Amino acid sequence: MTTTSPLLELRGITKRFGHLVANDHVDLQVAEGEIHALVGENGAGKTTLMNVVFGLVHPDEGDILLRGTPVTIRSPLAAARHGIGMVHQHFKLVPSLTAAENIFLGREPGNGPMLDGPEALRKAAELAERYGLTIDPATRVRFLSVGQQQRVEILKALSYDAHLLILDEPTAVLTPQETEELIQVVHELRTRGKTVIFITHKLNEVRAVADRFSVMRDGRRIATLSTGEATEADIARMMVGREVLFRVTKPDVVPGQPVLEVTGLNGLRVDGTEAVRDVSLEVREGEIVGIAGVEGNGQSELAEFVCGLRPPTAGKVFIDGREVTRADVVQRRAAGLAFVPEDRMDRGVSGPMSVSENLAATHYLDPGLSRFGVVAPGRLRRWTRALIGRFDIRNANPATPVHALSGGNIQKVVLARELSTEPKVLVAAQPSRGLDVGATEAVHRTLVEQRSQGRAILLISSELSEILSLSDRILVMYRGRVVHETNARDATDEGLGLYMMGLKSDHPGDVQ
């Protein structure tokens, strides 16, 4: 699909950060009017390469050409002048402003210093209609869903008349429905003459969205192919450099006694609306119970109520037969609970702190690490190195700041800290969110190993494939209630989907 003069051409792009070579003499061509997926594991150099194109990072070597003409892009504003827009994985919106105000931030229509609010709303609505991106331009961003916020980001880029749009991991925080909508939006943008670079590590998205894809590994471009030339297994092999197992092999385990029990649980969201309604469940020794459901149906709040982050309004929680309904987080951890939160950067780790400090965050008073209440540095380093080796935390030493690690290795830090307590119960919320195929495989392997060791695991995930692969039993939540329970071996995507959408329920009267 490439032409003699592609829209974008990169020649020998090299970018170093100290001793780390993030991009190593990368060549890439993107044709006008195509959707080009850029795939690779976390840390492969995808985002750095596109940050070079967008002017956020300046290359140490190499050239950028637009329609055959060499250009120098020193800033995002310069990129915008060249018709290049970028939507980042972590949105850069002002929550207190409206969608329209965010779209035209810094370029507000008006007369002199006065903002012309109606004109901003009119222009935003016109832009949204032109590209088929439905939003309410008058709504403040903090009240928009994640998918709607992403549309605001896309419209903001398009408002600069961008003809090349870079989307960095655009589905990392979207529900399956929002992902489908985004893919339709991307295809519509192509029909309107736009060129899209779609950064992702999700193999099914490559085939669903792209005309061609380029694979990056260890800072280098490994291959560029048409999507019809490769299977998902082929793409995974190129990304990781080895065969990848897509379905987890679980040894047969006979579940033991119930370790986590929840009865009649009710609870509210932060805004006071009902989040969880009359939820009862149990998880036994050596068992993974998966909670399936479209995000926003009470799964996140259920994890918070179980882990003691917020009190329920009714119901009881038991760990190993001991009631902990009113116990705090420290008391629940002492009772044998461990928690992998869904947002690892916000709740799982402190990015600027070292690997040692993050691993020891809940262990400072352990006799093996401290003497007379003071942490012994030598003991801490040895203990950290042992966990780094046990959990295969790569490119890390005890002093490495956690934010310098890839997403997969940050998740391994969280797992290492939580599992080092030898818990009886592990609550794992979205354990593979934002992770590439190799890191996801490692996380899944860890969870299955813990199951074999007798852990009771409550798995909460919006990835239905993850629920089906890992779970022994599956519960479906819809509007805060468990509407279905089944053995994983009897479950199908289609069947679970009906319960997730509220079209079926085990409770009479619940069906829409």
Pick from 428, 310, 422: nearest CA to 363: 422
Which amino acid appears at position 264 of this protein?
G
What is the full per-residue pLDDT of the chain (512 aa) written as tens digits?
A: 444 569 999 999 999 988 889 999 999 999 999 999 999 877 788 999 999 999 999 999 999 999 999 999 999 999 999 999 998 877 888 989 999 999 988 887 776 666 777 888 999 999 888 888 888 999 999 888 777 888 898 999 988 889 999 998 888 666 666 788 889 989 999 998 999 999 987 788 898 999 999 999 889 999 999 998 998 888 888 887 776 655 678 888 999 999 999 999 999 998 899 999 999 999 999 999 999 987 788 999 999 999 999 999 999 999 999 999 999 999 999 999 999 998 888 889 999 999 999 999 888 778 778 777 788 888 999 999 999 999 989 888 999 999 888 778 899 999 999 999 999 999 999 998 777 777 788 899 999 999 999 999 999 998 888 899 999 999 999 999 999 999 999 998 888 888 887 888 988 666 55
Q: Is the torsion defined by CA of 410, 415, 416, 417 positive or negative?
A: positive
Taking the C-alpha atoms of residue 180 and residue 183, their distance in angstroms, rounded to an integer, is: 5
Taking the C-alpha atoms of residue 451 and residue 445, their distance in angstroms, rounded to an integer, is: 10
Contacts of 145 (CB under 8 A, 6+ apart): 178
Q: Is 437 exposed, middle or buried (0-12, 13-18, 19+ CB in 10 A)?
A: buried
pLDDT of residue 3: 44
Domains 8-240 and 248-336+423-512 share a fold: yes
Pick from 154, 155, 189, 193: nearest CA to 171: 154
232 DSSP 8-state letter: H
Bridge partners, residue 261, by sequence: 282, 318
pLDDT of residue 271: 84
The class (CATH top level) of 8-240 is: alpha beta
> How many residues make up the chain in this entry?
512
Contacts of 151 (CB under 8 A, 6+ apart): 128, 133, 134, 135, 185
CB 259 within 8 A of CB 338: no
pLDDT of residue 248: 73
Pick from 382, 408, 379: nearest CA to 395: 408
User: Tokens representing 427?
Assistant: 């609550």
pLDDT of residue 243: 64
pLDDT of residue 112: 62
User: Tokens representing 273?
Assistant: 């609306």
201-204: long-range contacts (C-beta < 8 A, 24 or more apart)?
A: 201/39, 201/40, 201/41, 201/42, 201/169, 201/239, 201/435, 201/436, 201/437, 202/171, 203/39, 203/232, 203/235, 203/236, 203/437, 204/232
pLDDT of residue 1: 45
How far the first Cα of the chain sits from its last, in Å, is 47
Q: Rounded to two decimals, what is the model's pTM?
A: 0.69
pLDDT of residue 201: 77
CB 115 within 8 A of CB 108: yes
Taking the C-alpha atoms of residue 80 and residue 162, their distance in angstroms, rounded to an integer, is: 7
Q: Does domain 248-336+423-512 have CATH number 3.40.50.300?
A: yes
Taking the C-alpha atoms of residue 179 and residue 172, their distance in angstroms, rounded to an integer, is: 9
Taking the C-alpha atoms of residue 72 and residue 509, their distance in angstroms, rounded to an integer, is: 63
pLDDT of residue 65: 96
Domain extent listing, the chain: 8-240, 248-336+423-512
Q: Are strands 337-340 and 473-478 parallel, antiparallel or unpaired?
A: unpaired
248 DSSP 8-state letter: -
Taking the C-alpha atoms of residue 94 and residue 106, their distance in angstroms, rounded to an integer, is: 12
